[in-house]
Amino acid sequence: MLGGLRISLGIVAVACAMGCSAGGNKSNVTSGSVAAAGPVIAPQDKAPAPQQTGGFDGQRAYDYTAKLVSFGPRPSGSDAIKKTQDYISGELRADGCQIDEDNFNAQTPIGTLAMKNIVAKVPGTGKNVILLLTHYDTVRTTPNFVGAEDGGSSTGLMLEAARLLCGKKQPVAIWMAFLDGEEAMVDWNQNNDHTYGSRQMAANLELTGQLKNIKAVILVDMIGQKGLHISKDSYSTPWLTDLVWSTAAKLGYQNVFVPQTSSTEDDHQPFLAKGLAAVDLIDLNDYINEGYWHTAQDTMDKISPKSLAIVGHVVLASVDELEKKFSQ
């Protein structure tokens, strides 16, 4: 999740954006596997059977997340992120996804970095597109940061969504974008040092004339933690937020998709700036309050397969509702 965003929940304000870095100085990051025996999953955190969550398998999403974490810190331009990219592309191809890869060079405060956006595309019967987003990079400024929640959980969720959606023709095309460079290289709050991948994708959509086909953007970021509470993001498009929250309520998840509001700078903003409808699903506040955000404690023992299952269920059901709206 962003390393330096600004959040406000009720009267609480946190002056650090999701994508901003916890500090202004670059820390040395060692790439490599940080694998250990998996944590024991408590009964209350086990995923429901997939047939109870629209076919979405929360345990499988958890396993994808664990695999990503096993690569260790994954900051943009690192050897570990290249392994991560190969893994994501390999899983998508195995699931029958059509893949577009955008290799680009980003100008950052630490120099030019090679980055890659990976987009899995499920064809539709018309030109309309529903765009789902996640980022898979991890923050550079925290040593030993493996990003189980921040970057890992949403990517694990998206891989499971791709497994269910790819190979099927939908009434509306569904694109699932795995974005690089969400995190700041040095400081989220300076020099536009964040959201490199989402800004690249939004600009390309405009340049190629495809922007008009994107009818809704759903971003998932930090959605796998235990005790999950996703508040309504005030930057997000109201009608799309209402659609997702009403869908969650119909499924019985009012205790997770809560009515409180917050404000989070994230990968949805470059798309909002282009005039697209977008919503951010994220629980940054709880992770900050627990003291795990952008620390080396962001590890798999903080992740709940049940949380992944709930959010995955809501995302897929929201896609169904959007298809009804835009399939004409």
pLDDT 10s digits, 168-210: 888 999 999 999 999 999 999 999 999 999 999 999 999 999 9
**Average pLDDT rounded to a whole number, residues 14-22:** 36
User: Any idea what DSSP says for residue 124?
Assistant: B
Q: Which two tokens stand for residue 305?
A: 């397969």
- 176/158 Cα distance (integer angstroms): 7
Q: pLDDT of 126-175, one tens digit each? A: 999 999 999 999 999 999 999 999 999 999 999 999 999 998 888 999 99
143 close to 155: Cβ distance less than 8 angstroms: no
Q: Between β-strands 4-9 and 98-108, what pairing exists: parallel, antiparallel or unpaired?
A: unpaired
Confidence of residue 20 (pLDDT cuts 50, 70, 90): very low
Confidence of residue 48 (pLDDT cuts 50, 70, 90): very high
- CA atoms within 13 A of residue 131's CA, in its CB half-sphere: 30
Written in H, E and C, the secondary structure of 178-194 is EECCCCCCCCCCCCCCC
pLDDT at 27: 29
User: Any idea what DSSP says for residue 308?
Assistant: H
Average pLDDT of the chain is: 90
pLDDT at 235: 98
Q: pLDDT of 300-318, one tens digit each? A: 999 999 999 999 999 999 9
Cα 221–Cα 227–Cα 229 angle in degrees, nearest 5? 55
Which DSSP helix (H) or strand (E) runs through 102? strand 98-108
Q: For the chain, give the longest Cα–Cα distance.
A: 52
pLDDT at 328: 63
Q: Which numeric CATH code is attached to 4-19+54-326?
A: 3.40.630.10
Q: Which of 7-11, 110-114, 126-130, 197-201 has the lowest mean pLDDT?
A: 7-11
For the chain, domain boundaries: 4-19+54-326
Check pLDDT > 90 for residue 211. yes
Residue 280: helix, strand or coil by DSSP? strand
**Average pLDDT rounded to a whole number, residues 225-230:** 98
Q: Which residue has the tokens 């994808």?
A: 64
Residues 6+ apart with CB under 8 A from 77: 113, 114, 115
Q: pLDDT of 248-281, one tens digit each? A: 999 999 999 999 999 999 999 999 999 999 999 9
pLDDT at 168: 86
pLDDT at 104: 98
Q: Which residues pair with 131 in a beta bridge?
A: 175, 217
